[in-house]
Structure 1
Amino acid sequence: MNRAEREAAVRRIMERAAAPVPPDLHAEAVRRGERLLWRRRLVHRVLWLLACAAAVAFAVWAARTHPWVEPPSQTTPPISGW
């Protein structure tokens, strides 16, 4: 198919009558978009809540166990009776 044939084919496609659009298409698209946005907001809020809960749980655990402190050595017995 050369360029002139392609242009003619495109013109024929463009000259056709537009396909009928359902009358409630816009309302359905708006409803669907609002539902998707609501779900996205809900998921983001839940994820933020989980992240905050994880941060608080980590802070409480770290405050109680002190993981940064080196544990006492258990390899040598205590010296007593000198």
Structure 2
Amino acid sequence: MNRSAREATVRHMMERTSPRVPPELYADAVRRGGRLLRRRAAARRLLWLLLCAACVAFTVWAARVHPWVEPPSQTTPPLTGW
């Protein structure tokens, strides 16, 4: 097949109408796509909820324990009576 014949074949293929999709295939794809979007949205909401719960739990823990305060020294007794 020479160049002009190949170009004519490709041009003919490009000028044809696009293939028709069977209606049941289209409906099935729309249904599955909707389900996938709903699952992703639910997973995203769940992850945000878990992140917020972890932040609240950390805040409550930090407020009660005060991890930024240095504990009192236990190695030397206090000096009294000088």
TM-score (norm 2): 0.75
Q: Structure 1: 5+ residue runs without aligned partners?
A: none
Q: How large is the RMSD of aligned CA atoms in angstroms?
A: 2.7
Q: Secondary structure at the match of 2:23?
A: coil
In structure 1, the residue matched to 2:74 is 74
Q: Unpaired runs of 5+ in structure 2? A: none
Match of 2:59 in 1: 59
Corresponding pairs, count: 82
> Quick one: distance in 2 between partners of 1:51 and 1:18?
47
**TM-score of the pair, normalised by structure 1:** 0.75
User: What do the CA deviations read for 1:14-62 (whole angstroms, capped 9, x no partner)?
Assistant: 3667545322122112101110111011001100110111011101110
Tell me how far 1:64 sits from its aligned partner: 1.0
